[in-house]
Each structure stands twice: as structure tokens, then as C-alpha cells.
Chain A
């Protein structure tokens, strides 16, 4: 099966510009997550979709970040306007949802490296 794919792999933008990251999860995976790793720090949870609904967005840093998952398939994460501290690697992950018995482990994409100058 195809893995989690993320596009673009790298993005360099200027402060104040807008960037949109895309994630295509593994087919059939209802759970989709966004994580971020700022240089040298922990991988931080941003948010979690179950199908098209936001299950948990407690990790979103501020209202400059907007995530969508229309139709419950691919997801986009938009940063508008970008700030210097937004630089980092943005990972997307997906998993199957087994209802009350839990979920499958996370499958990660290769990440998008965002540099804001």
C-alpha cells in the first residue's frame, strides 16, 4: 500500500507570506494527525482529524494556522501569515480507527521542511 505522502518536501518563504502544506494519508485511515518539530526540539502534536472532523486541535499554536480535511481524505495545513518561529519540519501521520479497541500505530510521512526567512 502507498504510504503517507506530504507535499512539498521543502518550502522556503518570507515572513508574512502564506504557505499551504498537504498530506495524503494511507487509504482507509480515518485518523490523520499533524505534528511539528522545531529545530532541535520535541516533535509536538498539532491536531487530530477523525475523517473530516477535528477531534483535537489543542496543539495548534495560534490562529495563523488553519487545518482542513474536506471529504475526510487529504488534509491541508495553511500558515498565514508565516512568522520566523514557524520554521521547522511538519509531519503528517495517519492510522486506522478500530472504535473502542483503539487505533493502529501511526504511519508517518517524510515531512515538509518549512523555512521562513
Chain B
């Protein structure tokens, strides 16, 4: 079965500093990978997705993630944190070779941005 781990349930960064949120997955087939963000009292919003087209994926709000098969990782980065980036971030993997039929989420990482 596929699974996702996220290192660090809570990450704090200073405004303007690099954001790095770690995600590792296990999968027996080439995976579809996602990062979702949840702002307070809102639903999950898709930040970006990896679907085997390119290993470096750019998403919304300046975020990007790199798929590294050898490390089974899909870490999320942003060069310069903004206060508005404070939210909870979820890495996710889909089960199934060609569809997103069943998405498995990691436990989430809460990001705080310090002024």
C-alpha cells in the first residue's frame, strides 16, 4: 500500500527565508504526487502536482517541488516566505497508475511565518 510521510509536524521560518517542507512516499508503481494547502477554516487547495511530465514542478504562490525517484521524495520549497504562507501543508500520493481515484495524504505540516 502507498503511504506518505512528512518530516516535521510544525515548521517555523522567518519572513523572507527559504521554506522547505519534506515529503517522502512509498509506492510500488510510478506515483502521482501532490501538495495541498489548507488555510484556516478553508478546504484543501491544490498547490501543485507531479504526473511524470517533469521532475521539477512549479505551483501556485511561488511554490515548487522536485520529484526524486532515487530518494522517493517530493519536497516542497519556496525561496522567500510571506506571512500569507502560514497554513497547513499536505503531501499526497494517488493509488492507481492512471488516475487519482484514491488519494493518500500525509499527516500534514503546519507552517508558521515569523515577522
Contacts and interface: CB of A to CB of B under 8 A. Distances in A.
Contacts of B46: 105-107
A43 interface: yes
Nearest to B100: A103
A102 B98 contact: yes
Interface in B31-63: 34, 36, 41-46, 49
Interface of A: 3-4, 31, 33, 35, 41-45, 48, 55-56, 91, 93, 95, 100-111
Residue in A3, A41, A108 with the greatest tally of chain B CB atoms within 10 Å: A108
Given A110-B41, A110-B42, A111-B43, A42 B99 contact: no
Contacts of B41: 110
A103 B101 contact: yes
B100 A42 contact: no
Given A42-B105, A43-B105, A102 B43 contact: no
Contact of B45 (A33, A43, A108): A108
Nearest to B4: A42
Interface centre among B46, B100, B108 (most CB of A within 10 A): B100
Given A105-B49, A106-B100, A42 B107 contact: yes
B50 to A, nearest CB: 11
Contacts of A42: 105-108
A45 B99 contact: no
B101 A108 contact: no
Interface in B64-104: 90, 98-104
A108 B107 contact: no
Contacts of A3: 43
Nearest 10 CB-CB pairs, A to B?
Answer: A108-B43, A43-B105, A102-B99, A108-B44, A110-B43, A102-B98, A103-B100, A103-B99, A42-B107, A105-B46
Given A105-B34, A105-B49, A45 B43 contact: no
A100 B98 contact: yes
Given A4-B43, A91-B43, A110-B41, A56 B102 contact: yes
Contact of A48 (B101, B106, B108): B101
A35 B102 CA distance: 10
Contacts of B102: 45, 48, 56
